[in-house]
Structure 1
Amino acid sequence: MRTTAESVTSRIATAEPIELSLVVPLFNEEESVGPLIERITAAMANYPATWELILVDDGSTDATIANAKAALNRPGLDLKIVALQRNFGQTAAMQAGINQAGGRLIATLDGDLQNDPKDIPGMVSELERRELDLLVGWRKNRQDGLLLRKVPSWIANRLIGRITGVRLHDYGCSLKIYRGSVIKQVKLMGEMHRFIPAWVAGVVPSSRIGEMPVTHHARQHGVSKYGISRTFRVILDLLSVMFFMRFKARPGHFFGSLGLGLGALSGLILAYLFIDKFIVGNDIGTRPLFLIGVMLFLSAVQMITTGILAEMIARTYYREDTALSYIVREVYEGDQAHQ
């Protein structure tokens, strides 16, 4: 079995393909990044294949990059630091790292030391054994506050599973192992990193997505980037996920169905009022029901035209889906930096 140093040296000399890429998004983690690199190096010391570490700095305003660069020339460590131009959010940072990754497999984890890198080799073996495309970590003994983190997470996980059909105990765990060829088919935008299993289920069967209990540590440095307000954003994002999973390629069906339903209701109301006016002889000009019928008709027209526009946008999206949700300032490798 080769040591990590021998593995890196051999790969550089023979241009051996990278087996595993570790992607870690960072934002103001100056105290955590040094210990993180130490833990990853120790955890991967006996890994039998080639691996690389990609740190993505998401516009940190502290010494995160400086502390990370101290490990660039560390023997036996294949390290790349991707510095984004500003803070784009965890999802964009994760996407930037995945785009830079060259491994057949890709692992993602948080940079706050709450995920344990020691779980990664075992997760890789489990993914291969079960022939999965995505293996999600399950923080079974989560070391977070009950009210602010555990309860909202418990509710969100069950709601997401019910709507998306991908049943997992822990959607929010950043420690995941992917097949590179699969995750690179998924484009991450907004704050959608917590729904990655649902997005992956859009390109592979849900039977190829699994989970595995992993270690979870309490935060040691810095402050959490999340609060109770995240719960409301999760609900809004979940509605977007539901729409994209079911109607991404045919948005006209979604808006058209709403339009036809509103149009049918409007037709019933206006037909009733027509009979009431011209057959019964009642005055309908000042009746609220008349205004409701007209508004429903206008809403139906609006929904149908929105569906047509959405179909046009969707076709443009599928023709050219190359826009990035981030801007890279520099990439550091060894003593080199380039844009």
Structure 2
Amino acid sequence: MSAVIETGLETVPGIEAPELSLVVPIFNEEESVGPLIERVMDAMAAYAGAWELVLVDDGSADRTLLTARGYLSRPGLDLKIVELQRNFGQTAAMQAGIDTARGRLIATLDGDLQNDPKDIPTMVQALEERELDLLVGWRKNRKDGLVLRKIPSWCANYLIGRITGVKLHDYGCSLKIYRASVIKQVKLMGEMHRFIPAWVASVVPSSRIGEMEVTHHARQHGTSKYGISRTFRVILDLLSVMFFMRYKARPGHFFGSLGLGTGFLSALILAWLFIEKVIFGEDIGGRPLLILGFMLFLSSVQLITTGILAEMIARTYYRDDAQPNYIVRTVFRNGSA
């Protein structure tokens, strides 16, 4: 076996697609990537179908990529390594892996050894038996710090479930199993990997999304890429998710409703002031209510025109293919030279 270098993510002609693709974004995980590959091979040894491992190097500054490339010649391992041009973030790296995955089913997991690959065959079986499109891992016995990880996670899971309507115990677990035909309909942007179940619920019924308890290990190498500040980003992202789930294809309705509401209030205020001026002869020039009425009128005009512009942008988005949120430098795969 020898490494073959590609320049894009196109499927290689003549190579049969596997049943399952394992997608793992990695960033500065030089101590973890070797043991990760070994654990994946051990865990998938009993899997009956063909599978591939897709590693996405998200601009690592250490020896992560070099260490991973050392496994390209490993017999019995269908490995592809996607090297991104720089660090684009976990969401973009996950999207790159999903785009290049060739399997009918796709499994995603973290590269820090906290997810256990041994759960994957069982999850695949459960997904098929329960006829689901997405099976989410639930780290019931989570091996993380209480203040920095567990409490913010509990709060985020509660808020996401309340707003999106998709009730899960653990939105943040990266260990998930998807049907490729479904997840490839979803484009992940920003830091929206935390809300994948919500995005999937926008293309399939929430009844086809389930969860399953999985094993969770304490981090062995390196440092966590997350901190308490993530909680504030989650709240902002959650507002974006709520907007896109309800008004993605009709943003004009959102801004237009606000514009009509403020316009109605403006009309009431100005009408009342007109009556006071014309009928009762009162001086309204210095009244704050007049300023408020005109400000509401201007806000109404701005909101309605913003809605029109948003509708135009949305129609352009759905007419043209959106550009990927990552740039691939090189793709390495093992194969015959």
1:45 aligns with 2:45: yes
The one-letter code sitting in structure 2 at the alignment partner of 1:169 is H
Deviations 1:216-253 (A, max 9, x none): 01111100000111111101101110111000010000
User: What does 1:235-254 align with in structure 2 at a 5 Å threshold?
Assistant: 235-254=235-254
Once the two structures are TM-superposed, the CA of residue 284 in structure 1 deviates from its matched residue by 1.1
SS in 2 for 1:47: coil
Q: Counterpart in 2 of 1:169? A: 169
User: For residues 332 and 270 of structure 1, what CA distance do their matches in structure 2 show?
Assistant: 67
SS in 1 for 2:114: coil
User: What does 1:224-303 align with in structure 2 at a 5 Å threshold?
Assistant: 224-303=224-303
Once the two structures are TM-superposed, the CA of residue 334 in structure 1 deviates from its matched residue by 2.2
Deviations 1:173-219 (A, max 9, x none): 00000000000000011000000000000110000000000000111
Identity %: 79
The one-letter code sitting in structure 2 at the alignment partner of 1:287 is R
Once the two structures are TM-superposed, the CA of residue 45 in structure 1 deviates from its matched residue by 0.6
CA gap 1:15/1:326 in 2 versus in 1, 3 angstroms: closer
Q: Counterpart in 1 of 2:104? A: 104
User: For residues 240 and 17 of structure 1, what CA distance do their matches in structure 2 show?
Assistant: 36
User: For residues 66 and 15 of structure 1, what CA distance do their matches in structure 2 show?
Assistant: 25
User: For residues 171 and 334 of structure 1, what CA distance do their matches in structure 2 show?
Assistant: 33
1:34 aligns with 2:26: no
The one-letter code sitting in structure 2 at the alignment partner of 1:302 is Q
SS in 1 for 2:279: helix
User: What does 1:206-225 align with in structure 2 at a 5 Å threshold?
Assistant: 206-225=206-225
SS in 2 for 1:280: coil
Q: Counterpart in 2 of 1:121? A: 121
SS in 2 for 1:110: coil
In angstroms, what is the RMSD of aligned CA positions? 1.4
Deviates more, 1:266-275 or 1:53-62: 266-275
User: For residues 325 and 242 of structure 2, what CA distance do their matches in structure 1 show?
Assistant: 21
Q: Counterpart in 2 of 1:194? A: 194
SS in 1 for 2:132: coil
CA gap 1:72/1:18 in 2 versus in 1, 3 angstroms: same
Once the two structures are TM-superposed, the CA of residue 335 in structure 1 deviates from its matched residue by 7.0
Deviations 1:152-173 (A, max 9, x none): 1101101001110100000000
Using structure 2 for the length normalisation, give the TM-score. Answer: 0.95
The one-letter code sitting in structure 2 at the alignment partner of 1:330 is T
Structure 2: 5+ residue stretches without partners: 1-11
User: For residues 25 and 305 of structure 2, what CA distance do their matches in structure 1 show?
Assistant: 41
SS in 2 for 1:35: helix
Q: Counterpart in 1 of 2:64? A: 64
The one-letter code sitting in structure 2 at the alignment partner of 1:30 is E
User: What does 1:13-24 align with in structure 2 at a 5 Å threshold?
Assistant: 15-24=15-24
User: For residues 227 and 298 of structure 2, what CA distance do their matches in structure 1 show?
Assistant: 41
Q: Counterpart in 2 of 1:7? A: none
Structure of higher RCO (CA pairs closer than 8 Å, 6+ residues apart): 2
Once the two structures are TM-superposed, the CA of residue 17 in structure 1 deviates from its matched residue by 3.0
Structure 1: 5+ residue stretches without partners: 1-11
Q: Counterpart in 2 of 1:315? A: 315
User: For residues 124 and 197 of structure 1, what CA distance do their matches in structure 2 show?
Assistant: 17
User: For residues 43 and 259 of structure 2, what CA distance do their matches in structure 1 show?
Assistant: 56
Using structure 1 for the length normalisation, give the TM-score. Answer: 0.94
Deviations 1:122-141 (A, max 9, x none): 00000000000000000001
The one-letter code sitting in structure 2 at the alignment partner of 1:281 is G
SS in 2 for 1:137: strand
